[in-house]
Each structure stands twice: as structure tokens, then as C-alpha cells.
Structure 1
Amino acid sequence: MNEFESPSDEPEGHDGRRREDHRAGGTPRLDLGATTEMGVAGTDSSTITVPNHGTGGSLVGSHLATYLILSRLGRGGMADVYAARDMNLERDVAVKVLRPELSTDRDYIARFRREAKAAAKLNHANIVQIYDVGEVDSRYYIAQELVQGQNLKEYLLRHGALSPQQAIEVLLGVASALDAAAIEGITHRDIKPENVMWSKSGAVKVADFGLARLGGDSDGSRADLTQAGLTMGTPRYMSPEQVQGRPVDPRSDLYSLGVMMYHLITGSPPFEAEDPLALAFAHVNETPRPIDRVRGDKDIPEWLIAIILKLLRKDPNERFQSAAELLEALSGDDVDHQGRARRLVGAATATARLQRVADEQRRQSAKARRKVVLIALLPFVFLGLGVAFASQVRQPQLAEFLTPDEVQKLATVEEQFLEAVSKDKVAYWQAIPRFFPPQDNSTNRAYAVKANLQLARWYDEHDQWKAADKVLADLVSDPSTDRKYLLIAWARRVLVANEMRDQKRLDEAKRQFESLYAELLAGNSDAIEMFDRLFTMSEHAILGMNRDS
């Protein structure tokens, strides 16, 4: 959960700055100029900068305990976040306020207090500091350090993947924070770009301990927290043991750190799926694509790739056993740094190389198999059009006859989709709308669309572009297709047309994609965020998208 997630409208310029006059003893006067999305820009002891986000339904202008609420910075899954002034200590703070509709829910109140309890135990330069926690008129709040900067998710969306040096700085900062937490017996459980701040001064700070597990928590508490994590968002950064509801320790945070670093370096998460169950399955079973291939550049040092791969091991016993051990791998002067890291990482560097080779071999092997099949079919071409026509008639019947033996119908469409994710074969994707007709209900319809998008993706990856284009053509022509999936379908169709070298088809697909993208962007649709997650940086380039803009 990102308690600091900001409104989508961009802040404007620095004009109109006014100075706060504390000597007059009155209410601070506010600068209505620019802010970053994560904090108040340009604040000092005498100037408070306030974003112009509007005050509808908010606490802006009111007092909460000793805090004058100046502006709303954003809204997260369970709290609104405000810039405020501590009138007693005369300092700027961020105040997180549990949303009114949740203030009677004991589970949310407990989680809110848990965050304060966990973070308050930690006093570290790489952790957002907690100042105060309280409740006034059933409004639960946490006052904490106001960081001038942005979170890493915002940085990624605005600027794209991190440079190697930036990645190392982030890795060091978060590892230091996790080391401090582990010393106090705290597992964060929610490490992700949204929860890591990057201040204007370059400091890396971990925030949001709302899912933290303290050393004395019971197993029941652990299960509740796992469910909370899955409910509050997709398990994109969760460890295999976490998504399975198994006991977690600080090594789980190290896996999440590995997922986050992979995302920050490549611009894409190592595993992606629209369905949380499918994403959880990937964390437990799948191997991420090679980092340098996804990044599209070989500028990341092999030792750093090896460290990230070690963090991403499925078995906690094969990861770094502590943040301290990770820091040891990252420590040392420039002369022995690489050798020191490689010694601690062990075979991970070799694994990275083997993974790249195996990936290429699988692709070449698939092409070779298709070539053999085509050669084997050549004699039949000369038997005439009559035979060809007969084979086209018989093929669907044969497929229908064979598929039930290969793909068994499961109890629910969700289970059927998860089975398709695990197998990733054409028959399994095709079975979803056949076993669960989309016309029956909206759930079936949504999964049918997702299955067809996955089917098109499979065809694309296996160079069967005409088949991919046909599936996508059916999707974009169906008026019932949800617009967020329609955007993905048009984007995929652009990529397929580019592979087919079909300029006319490419131009039309690009026109449709750009039009829909602009429309959804203007409406602040969550489809844009999903689009950014699903497509790699190189695919963004083909689509004509500039992630810096």
C-alpha cells in the first residue's frame, strides 16, 4: 500500500511565494506554488509550500491535535496524507489520517497502530521517522517526517529505469533500513517502489510499516497480515513464502527488495499478471527473464545482476541470510568490490550467464521445431487444394476431440486461468472461454478477455504473428471489451504489426492505440498505470511512448 500516492494532476510553477510570519503569532501564510508529489518542495523554517489539490472533503485548514493541516498530499489504501505544521515545535510534518469510513473497523485501526508501533521503534537515517501517534474525535493519525522528494514508483514513471549507480544507492539505502528493522525483530512485509522515498538531497528512506510483523506476533496475526497484503493490492513484490501464507522472516523482505530492484533496473517487474493468483503462482514457480535482455542494455555490472538474482531465490535458505550479509556484499572499496560481491554471491553470476544462454537456446529450439514441422508438411502441399481444404475442415474437429483429454475443466474460472498460467499452452488458454462461456456472466467475460490477451501474447512470443493478430482483431472489434483491455490489445497489435512488417496495419493500430491512450490519460484512468506495468521499455519505444514525459 502506498499511503503517499498522490493525485494525478501535475503541480504548477513557483510563482506567488509568500513568507510565513511566525512573529505575528498568527496562522502561517502559505505558498501556493510547486510541490513534489511526495512532499512539500522548498520548505524551510520559514516557508511552507502547499500544492493546489483542492480541499473538498479534506481536513485542509483545520487543526488536528497540535497540527495545522496545510494541504493534502495524496490518498493511499487506508489513509489520507497531509502536509501539516506542528504548531508547538514549529516544524513541518506529514500527517497520515485513517479514512473516516475505516475508523470504526478494528482491523484497520490495529494495522494503523501497528505501523506506528513498528516504525517508532526505529531511528535510522534510511527510515521515515515517526514523531507522534494519536486519536482526536475518532480520527486516528500518525505524524511523521515530511520527506521532500518522490517515491521510486513516481521516479520510475517519470524517468524510466535507474542507472547502475542509482540502483546501487537505492540498494544500499533500503538494505541499511532493513538491517535496522531486523535488529529490532521487525519484518517490513511490503517493500516496493511506492514505499521507498528518494529525497531531494539523495537520501533513500523506507516508509509504510503498515504490514510489518513484529517479533512477538502470533501465527494468527501473520495470517491476517498476509490476507491484508493480498486484499490491499496484488502480490507483485511478495515473497513465495509470503503469498503462500507461510512463516516469514527478514529474508522475505530481501526477496521483495530483489523484485523491486529488478523492476527499477529493467523498468518492468520480473513477474506480471492481471490476476493476483496467477501472479502469486509466478513468484512460487517461474524464473524471471534475464535482466540485461529486459533492460535492453548490458551496462549493469554482472556482480550487481548476480546479487539481485540471489535475492530472488525461491528458497529463503538460498538468499542472503540477512540484510547485514547483503551490505557486506556491497561494502568495500572500488578495488575489491566486485570480487567481494562475487564471493558472497557464489554461483549466481554463472546462473545469470546460463539463464541468458538457456533463454536463447529455447527460442532457437522453438524456431527449429517449427521449421521441421513446415518441412514435414511440404509433400502434402503438392496433393492439391482438395486435400488442403479437407485438412482445414478436419483440423478443428480433431482439436475439439483431443483438447478435453489434455485440458480438464476445473471448478471455477479462476482455477482454470491459474492452470493456464502454469501450463502456458494454446489449448489451456483456449479452454477458458470454452469451459466458461463469456456470455454467462461478467466474471467469465473478464477472464475470457484476459485469456485471449495471453493467447495473443503466446502467439507473438512464438513468432506466430498472423494467429496473434487474428485473436487481437477479434478483441478490438468486440464492443463488450473493457477499455483497459482494449488499450492492451491495441498496443499488442502495434507490436505484432511491427514484427509482420505490415506498414498499413501498423499505422492503423498505432492510430487507434494513440487515440485510446490519450482518451484514457485525460480521464486519469488506472488503465494507464496497468499499461506501464505490462510493457517493457523497449516495447514503449516501439509504441512511440516516452516514459520521461
Structure 2
Amino acid sequence: MTSESSEPNELSPQASSREDGDVSSAKLIGCRLGDYQILRKLGRGGMADVYAARHLTLGRDVAMKILRSDYARDGDYVARFRREAKAAAKLNHPNIVQVYEVGSVDSFHYIAQELIHGDNLRHILSRSGSLSTDEAVEVLVAVGSALEVAAEAGITHRDIKPENIMRSSRGIVKVADFGLARLGPDVDASRADLTQAGLTLGTPRYMSPEQIQGHTVDSRSDLYSLGITMYHLLAGRPPFEAEDPLALAVMHLHETPIPLDRARGTEDLPEWLVAIVSKLIRKRPEDRFQSPSELLASIRSRAIDAGYSAAETIGTAAATIRLQRVADQSRLRQRSPGWRRVAIFLIPLGCIVATAAFFLSHPAKSVTRVLRPDQVPQAKTVEEQYLIAATRNDEAGWRAVSDYFPASENNSLNTNYHAKSLLQMARLMAAELQWQQADRVLEDLLRNPRIDRLYQALALAQRCNVLEQLGETRRLTESQTQLQTIYRELDATNPSALAVFDRVVSEKERLQLGLTIADRGDT
């Protein structure tokens, strides 16, 4: 902690010059906001910069979140910023970062909250690797306890992730940043939902399916995000990975992750813990734990089975929870992955920046607002059109991508999304056993000479599965031969595309398609 020997400067719009409507970090440091002196910058969030500051009257060090000036000029953002403080200030629990005060000085809006000396779990994971069982259960109980208190107050966090879970220097786990909190019925009528657009608020890597779709969320959504977080902390990597935010969103809607124990690569996790994480990340809210209290009760019962009292296990957030590694009587049931749900969503298409910029610049737009059962509305961009199709996941939605944004020689982005939407439509038809229709869609895709070779390979791989179901032996052989040729071509000319193909199509499926190591030019 740095100390300031000089008298703090009064901060005002006149005293501090601005560049592009914002105040630089250097000009804030050492200045005074009301009764607080800014000491140093700690970081930058989605809407606010975070500083260490000292309350001069109380002599207490705090963390100050100061709304960035580009947002401070927007009344809706200011309202949501204040709502964050209103929500978080309601919550008083050892596992929640405490909010002390919300206020404004001139055009600066701030929240003063507890300053945690420690690190967040994302940094701890990067530095020390995946958590042990004891560490993971401690985090699970601490965050579950925090969410229990929030749920009782009618508040959902909406952004549970490793970065928002802190471990203090004393070992206490605390949930930070209720910045996306959605209040219950006491929300003001003028702006009933300041978190309407699923992909504008929250982190796609950890978001629940219902949040992605823009549906109403409750504590079960936070439990899903907690489950994804625990998977990441235990496996060392999240269950779904893609550079494109749309890719991640649709994977949460449709993909089944590798079982946690397999992803971790060791057998040191008790099966009951794997089962709990698996239940947390189920797609449908009704299939998860129905409340944080139910989650904690499940952990408590396991502790009793292991010979520990509930008080020893759940009683204090600071204690390290020690649970014996016990095995359940039966193995977890594992769903058959079946035919891969065309994880083309893993493919970075160069639209990452454009996609993120679009959603961040349209914060009030709700995905569900534009969804209608009888017709598909036209979006402003092909990326948004694709997201609408993904949330609908019906034939009309997927066809609308190509209808509204047709593939063309001069627009590779439209062409790529055209291919992706047709692959998804064929996947949907195959899932509904409409093999002939799926075959026709894939044939249309393969006729287009502008389609990238990677998409051609993915279409052929899927078509082989369809033709096998149809019993079309001759055409199946022809398609396999074409696929093997493209596969060797990608190996020779585009290794990165080949790597994507190998991630989408499992090794077992590649062997069935005749894509052996020899086909890759290896000896």
C-alpha cells in the first residue's frame, strides 16, 4: 500500500483535463473524490475502473469502482451502476465482498467497497494449476453460501466466473462484483431489466443457456455458471472453448462436455464431486440443483457419509474443508455423445472483434424480443442473424441466415455463415431422423464452389453419416473418397484448418471414415 505525503488534490472536471472524454489513470491517482483519496489503479472492468483508495475520515482503505466517463454520460448505464451498488449493499456475508458506499462527485460515479488483499481464482489457476479436491470443495461451499444469501434477497449475480471469486491472504473465499445483479420485483418500472441482451452482460464462457437466450434467470443460472467455473478449476480448462463468442454461446446451448474426471486426466476426484459438478451444468434449469441451499445440503450429506459433521463441513467459510475421497456404489451415467453436433462453433472466423463490438454497442437489445414463433426477423448483421438461428434452433431460423445474408463471391463472411447455417440445419434434420432432407441440404452446400475446403470436409463427414443411415453404399464410398482427398489436402496446405477438423470429428469417427494417419502423409 502506497502512502501519499502531499495534500490530496480536489478532483473536479475543471481540475482534471480530459482526453476523448475520459480521465487518465495518472490524473486520478493522488486526487480526492469526496472523502476518498485515490491511491493507485487496481484494474479495469466492463464498465468501471477500479482503484485502491483511502477514506480520509475513517482511515480505511477501500476499493473504488469509478464508472468510466464514456458510460457516465449515459443515463441507463448510470442507473445500472447504481443498481449494482443497491443490490450488493443488501448482501452481508463473509463470502461476499462488502459494499460500503455509493456516491458521485461532479460527473464521477463511484462505489466504495471492501479491499481484498489476495488474488482471484483465475490468476491462482494460471499460477498454481488446477485445484485439489479440498480446495475445490472449499470454493464450492463458499460460493454456494454467498449465492444462498443472494437468492434469499431475490438477487442473481449473472457473472460467476473465476475472475470474480477472490481468495484473500487469510484464505477466505469471497464473491466479488455483483455488477450484473438482477433484482426481484422492486426494480423500478422505468427500466425493468437493464440486463436484457444475453451476450452483452455476463461472460459467454460461463453463461447459462437461458441467459444466452435472453430468458428470465434465477439462482439456477448462477449455479450453472458455478458448475462451469468448478469444471474449469478442477480440469484446468473450461468445458467449452472457442475464440468466437457466438461459438461459445451455441456450445452452451447444444454441446455436452467431456466428463470432468476424463478432462482432469487423473482419478483423484471423488465420484460424488464429479456428480455434483455434472448436475450443476445440465442444460435445463429444472435438471440442476433448484437452489444454492439444495446444493449445500447435498455437499453436507456427502460430508456426513464421509464421517464429518455438517458443522465441520459447512460451518465456516474460512476453514479448509477436508473430505475423504469416497466412491459411490455406481458409476455416473454418461450420455452418449452420438453424432457430433457440428462443433463448427469452435472455428474462429475473423469475426470475433466485430461480433463483440456489435453486442457491446447494442446493450438494450434483447435476443428474445426479436424471436417470434411464426417468422424469423431480419437482423442487422449476419453474426446476429446466426445467434437468432442458434437460439431458435429450427429450420426456419437456419434458412434465414442464408436468405437474409446470401453467400456471395465478394463477401466471405456471409459465405462462411451460409456454410455454418446449412451444416447446422443438416445436423438438426439428422437429429430428427430426416435423413433425405439432411442429404439434400448437404448436397446443396457441397455444390457451392465458394465454400471453404474446411467446411466441405465437415459437410462430407456429416454426409457420410447420413448416407450410412440411408444405406447408400455407393454414394457413401464416393463421399469418403472425396473426404480423404480433402483431408490430405488440408494436411499439406492448411494445418490449422486440419486441427479444427480433428477437434470437431472425433478420432473414432475419423477412423470409421478412413482418415488414418497414413492419409495425413505420416510414415
Instruction: Report the secondary structure of 2:43's partner residue.
Output: strand
Q: In the alignment, is the contact (CA less than 8 A) between 1:417 and 1:447 conserved in 2?
A: no
Deviations 1:458-477 (A, max 9, x none): 9999998874563476557x
Alignment partner for residue 121 of structure 1, among 71, 90, 102? 90
Change beyond 3 A, Cα 1:332–1:59: same
Change beyond 3 A, Cα 1:457–1:163: farther
Change beyond 3 A, Cα 1:495–1:335: same
Deviations 1:101-152 (A, max 9, x none): 1111011111111111011111111000111111001100011111112222
Instruction: Report the secondary structure of 1:236's partner residue.
Output: coil
User: By how many angstroms is 1:275 displaced?
Assistant: 4.3
Question: Corresponding residue for 2:298?
Answer: 329
CA distance in 2, matches of 1:144, 1:186: 18
Alignment partner for residue 166 of structure 1, among 135, 159, 165? 135
Letter in 1 for 2:45: G
Question: Corresponding residue for 1:231?
Answer: 200
Deviations 1:445-486 (A, max 9, x none): 77589996777789999998874563476557xxxxxxxxxx
Q: In the comparison of the two structures, how many residue pairs are matched?
A: 392
Q: In the alignment, is the contact (CA less than 8 A) between 1:131 and 1:143 conserved in 2?
A: yes
Question: Which 10-residue stretch deviates more, 330-339 or 185-194?
Answer: 330-339
Question: Corresponding residue for 1:444?
Answer: 414
Alignment partner for residue 470 of structure 1, among 473, 486, 489? 489
Letter in 2 for 1:148: H
Deviations 1:2-41 (A, max 9, x none): xxxxxxxxxxxxxxxx9859xxx8559xxxxxxxxxxxxx
Question: Corresponding residue for 1:283?
Answer: 252
Instruction: Report the secondary structure of 2:28's partner residue.
Output: coil
Instruction: Report the secondary structure of 1:140's partner residue.
Output: strand
Question: Corresponding residue for 2:157?
Answer: 188
CA distance in 2, matches of 1:201, 1:147: 10
Change beyond 3 A, Cα 1:272–1:220: farther
Question: Corresponding residue for 2:332?
Answer: 353
Instruction: Report the secondary structure of 1:187's partner residue.
Output: coil
CA distance in 2, matches of 1:301, 1:273: 29
Question: Corresponding residue for 2:468?
Answer: none
Q: In the alignment, is the contact (CA less than 8 A) between 1:459 and 1:467 conserved in 2?
A: no
Q: In the alignment, is the contact (CA less than 8 A) between 2:42 and 2:52 conserved in 1?
A: yes
CA distance in 1, matches of 2:225, 2:419: 30
CA distance in 2, matches of 1:444, 1:59: 45
User: By how many angstroms is 1:55 displaced?
Assistant: 6.5
Change beyond 3 A, Cα 1:436–1:157: farther
CA distance in 2, matches of 1:278, 1:221: 34
Instruction: Report the secondary structure of 2:135's partner residue.
Output: helix
Letter in 1 for 2:148: D
TM-score where L is the length of structure 2: 0.62
Deviations 1:354-410 (A, max 9, x none): 317x35x879xxxxxxxxxxxxxxxxxxxxxxxxxxxxxxxxxxxxxxxxxxxxxx9
Instruction: Report the secondary structure of 1:227's partner residue.
Output: coil
Instruction: Report the secondary structure of 1:189's partner residue.
Output: coil
Letter in 2 for 1:212: A
Question: Corresponding residue for 1:266?
Answer: 235
CA distance in 2, matches of 1:489, 1:327: 44
TM-score where L is the length of structure 1: 0.59
In angstroms, what is the RMSD of aligned CA positions? Answer: 4.6
Deviations 1:488-527 (A, max 9, x none): 659759999xx9779x999xxxxxxxxxxxxxxxxxxxxx
CA distance in 2, matches of 1:184, 1:422: 32
CA distance in 2, matches of 1:121, 1:87: 25
Change beyond 3 A, Cα 1:169–1:60: same
CA distance in 2, matches of 1:71, 1:183: 36
Change beyond 3 A, Cα 1:220–1:239: farther
Question: Which 10-residue stretch deviates more, 279-288 or 96-105?
Answer: 279-288
User: By how many angstroms is 1:282 displaced?
Assistant: 3.1
User: By how many angstroms is 1:438 displaced?
Assistant: 6.9
User: By how many angstroms is 1:176 displaced?
Assistant: 0.6
CA distance in 1, matches of 2:167, 2:222: 19
| Percent identity for Structure 1 against Structure 2 | 54
Q: In the alignment, is the contact (CA less than 8 A) between 2:2 and 2:39 conserved in 1?
A: no
User: By how many angstroms is 1:235 displaced?
Assistant: 2.7
Matches within 5 A, 1:208-223: 208-217=177-186
Deviations 1:134-176 (A, max 9, x none): 1001100011111112222222333332222221111111001
Matches within 5 A, 1:362-373: none
Change beyond 3 A, Cα 1:201–1:418: same
Q: In the alignment, is the contact (CA less than 8 A) between 1:331 and 1:337 conserved in 2?
A: no
User: By how many angstroms is 1:332 displaced?
Assistant: 5.4
> Which one has the bigger helix percentage?
1
Change beyond 3 A, Cα 1:330–1:278: same
CA distance in 2, matches of 1:492, 1:75: 33
Change beyond 3 A, Cα 1:68–1:282: same
For structure 2, which runs of at least 5 residues remain unmatched after alignment? 9-22, 311-327, 341-376, 422-451, 466-479, 508-515
Q: In the alignment, is the contact (CA less than 8 A) between 2:180 and 2:202 conserved in 1?
A: no
Instruction: Report the secondary structure of 2:332's partner residue.
Output: helix
Deviations 1:69-92 (A, max 9, x none): 111111111101111122211121
Instruction: Report the secondary structure of 1:174's partner residue.
Output: helix
For structure 1, which runs of at least 5 residues remain unmatched after alignment? 1-17, 29-53, 342-348, 364-409, 477-487, 507-549
Q: In the alignment, is the contact (CA less than 8 A) between 1:239 and 1:283 conserved in 2?
A: yes
CA distance in 1, matches of 2:144, 2:489: 47
Question: Corresponding residue for 1:133?
Answer: 102
Change beyond 3 A, Cα 1:308–1:456: farther
CA distance in 2, matches of 1:207, 1:489: 39
